[in-house]
Structure 1
Amino acid sequence: MGKINISFMAEDTFYSLKKDIGQYLPYFKKNKTDSQWINDITSNPTYITKRYEIEDFTLKIPEGNNDRLTEAENSKIIYEALKDLPPYVLANKYFWAWIMFEKCYRVALIMMKDKKETTFNNQWLGASTDRRGFFFGLISRMYFRVALTIDETLLDRYELTDYVLENPSRFRELSWRNIVSCRHIVRGFIKGIKKVNDVYNNVEKGVIYARLAKELSTLGSIKVLDFISESEIIEFTEKIYIGLLKEKRLI
């Protein structure tokens, strides 16, 4: 498809949307495939072109908001297109606003379960500018789920990615915590729960993942997780996970 320059949404457009997102709900509902209406929000240019280039991409159209298979395919498409961008771009809310409206508009609307004011504010413009905000974002979280789970040491580098995308609750509770910044911790956590689930035929409950993520964070308050190996994270996760399953009498 060729290369394109990335852009950032202009600040005045971004904050006009964020401030009055409720009044723009009819525009989203009326324009389900075309985001050009956003160009009329302010008299200034909607986007600011940047020097970085990416391979242009087109997402597959999901059948509905629970189409996990298409979401997984699109997550990989987004990751492959954006993976070479510098961290400061990938952590910029104006960049993700451009991606949402210019490259992923139709898909993002289909993926939304509830098209309410708060949902648009959280999933399109971010509830905050920190890590938690990016994991609220419909498209940004798709990228980061892949970026944090891809593993070049495996025969299928997307093995852990597919496992997470199949059931995002396996990763969601960890994504809210600071330790998610360390890829080896994320991969060790996912490998640990996968090993246990494979042995016990996928006996899993979301509330247990919340407890498990908390236990891993507690370990981080005792030790410097940056210096703990991935294999140690796997062993710790297995041990605690099995203990929690026994506590709930699930095994």
Structure 2
Amino acid sequence: MLLSYFTEEAYESLLHDIRKNAENYASDEDWLTTYFSGTDGYFKTSSVDVGAFSPHYTPGKKDDAQKSQEDLINTRLIYDAFRNLTPLQASNKYMWTYLCHAVPEYRNYIRDRWMQDERENTIKSRFFVTTPGSLLNDNALSRLWWYGYLTYDRSSSHHYALTEILFTNQTICTDVMDTFNRMNYDRMRGVLMAIRDFKDVLGNNEGITDYFRECKKYLNHYAAVTTLEFLDSEEIRDLAFNYMIKLREEKLSGTGSPLRKRKKK
């Protein structure tokens, strides 16, 4: 299918009228045509051709593990379908916002995934792209594509092995995307390899979430004071892995600060 996108005027109008349209977002009715009645051309169709993507989900409320599993599946589905997008094209906020509003099966998916426990900014964060951060972390569809782009391992026969690590749980996913990598494939790969290898050290009896949360702080501080341009993914892996090993050794010996106790694995 050829991808379409909102005009700037249409995007700004919808963004301004979120509260006014709140009931429309909760409805399964097509309302855009009525909303834009009298408006000449509220969207445009590009020449970018992509495959079909149908979100996979089981209707109803989900726990953390179910959300992570569905996100993993949908990341694979959307990246396989939209893989020919360039990063520049995939940064188009008007395109992702249009897809979230105009395609019925995408709207249904978003309502099921996020609007059962709706918060004040749910519509803005999940149906729109408003900032570079929301492109990567919040918008219901763009986040999945970028997860795929940043974790797809072109050199492995198991292309989505690192994607599976990203979705260890929802907290790990959020924290990984909040590290210094910011749209950098090599850095993302290095961080995920460190998590993979450290999980092997821990086994099934100890969770990794708190270790990586501390590691994230370390990596972000390291990036703020040190030039990382010449570090490859293996060096990033070593940096993160060795720090988590150090944290665990301190924990076991009782010489480090206690990590907050959680049950997430």
Scaled by the length of structure 2, what TM-score is found? Answer: 0.82
From the superposition, tell whether residues 236 and 120 of structure 1 become closer, same or farther in structure 2 (CA, over 3 Å): same
Work out the CA distance in 2 between the residues paired with 1:75 and 1:175. Answer: 14
Instruction: Tell me if the contact between 2:166 and 2:176 (Cα under 8 Å) persists in the aligned partners.
Output: no
Number of residue pairs aligned between Structure 1 and Structure 2:
243
For residue 122 of structure 1, the aligned residue among 122, 125, 132 is 125
| Higher normalized helix content (fraction of residues) | 1
Q: What residue is the counterpart of 2:155 in the other structure?
A: 153
**1:39 and 2:36 matched:** no
What is the Cα deviation at residue 216 of structure 1?
1.3
From the superposition, tell whether residues 199 and 207 of structure 1 become closer, same or farther in structure 2 (CA, over 3 Å): closer
**1:72 and 2:66 matched:** no
Work out the CA distance in 1 between the residues paired with 2:134 and 2:55. Answer: 24
**1:210 and 2:206 matched:** no
Segments ≥4 residues shifted beyond 4 Å: none
In structure 1, the gaps of 5 or more residues are none
What is the Cα deviation at residue 12 of structure 1?
2.5
For residue 171 of structure 1, the aligned residue among 162, 170, 173 is 173
Work out the CA distance in 2 between the residues paired with 1:178 and 1:236. Answer: 13
Letter in 2 for 1:51: S
Work out the CA distance in 2 between the residues paired with 1:82 and 1:96. Answer: 12
> Which stretch has the larger CA shift, 62-71 or 188-197?
62-71
Work out the CA distance in 1 between the residues paired with 2:89 and 2:167. Answer: 24
What is the Cα deviation at residue 225 of structure 1?
2.1
Instruction: Tell me if the contact between 1:8 and 1:98 (Cα under 8 Å) persists in the aligned partners.
Output: yes
**1:94 and 2:94 matched:** yes
Letter in 1 for 2:177: S
Q: What residue is the counterpart of 2:198 in the other structure?
A: 196
Q: Secondary structure of 1:86's match?
A: coil
Q: Secondary structure of 1:51's match?
A: strand
Which whole-Å deviations, capped at 9, do the CAs of 1:7-38 have from their partners, x for residues lacking one? 1112232222211212212112232xx4x202
Work out the CA distance in 2 between the residues paired with 1:213 and 1:191. Answer: 14
What is the Cα deviation at residue 93 of structure 1?
0.8
Work out the CA distance in 2 between the residues paired with 1:87 and 1:155. Answer: 23
Instruction: Tell me if the contact between 2:125 and 2:134 (Cα under 8 Å) persists in the aligned partners.
Output: no
Work out the CA distance in 2 between the residues paired with 1:87 and 1:213. Answer: 25
Work out the CA distance in 1 between the residues paired with 2:51 and 2:135. Answer: 26
Instruction: Tell me if the contact between 2:180 and 2:219 (Cα under 8 Å) persists in the aligned partners.
Output: no
Work out the CA distance in 2 between the residues paired with 1:222 and 1:120. Answer: 37
What is the Cα deviation at residue 177 of structure 1?
4.5
Q: Secondary structure of 2:112's match?
A: helix
From the superposition, tell whether residues 95 and 77 of structure 1 become closer, same or farther in structure 2 (CA, over 3 Å): same
Q: What residue is the counterpart of 1:48 in the other structure?
A: 44
Q: What residue is the counterpart of 1:137 in the other structure?
A: 139
In structure 2, the gaps of 5 or more residues are none
**1:223 and 2:220 matched:** no
From the superposition, tell whether residues 134 and 180 of structure 1 become closer, same or farther in structure 2 (CA, over 3 Å): closer
Which whole-Å deviations, capped at 9, do the CAs of 1:55-89 have from their partners, x for residues lacking one? 12322243335333333222111111222112222
Instruction: Tell me if the contact between 1:62 and 1:111 (Cα under 8 Å) persists in the aligned partners.
Output: no
Q: What residue is the counterpart of 1:111 in the other structure?
A: 113
Q: How does 1:21-40 map to 2 (within 5 A)?
A: 21-31=18-28, 34=29, 36-40=30-34
Which whole-Å deviations, capped at 9, do the CAs of 1:103-152 have from their partners, x for residues lacking one? 411111111052244111112113x3223443111221111112111112
Q: Secondary structure of 1:52's match?
A: strand
Alpha-carbon RMSD: 2.2
Letter in 2 for 1:141: R
Q: Secondary structure of 1:7's match?
A: strand
Q: What residue is the counterpart of 1:6 in the other structure?
A: 3
Scaled by the length of structure 1, what TM-score is found? Answer: 0.86
Identity %: 20
> Which stretch has the larger CA shift, 233-242 or 209-218?
209-218
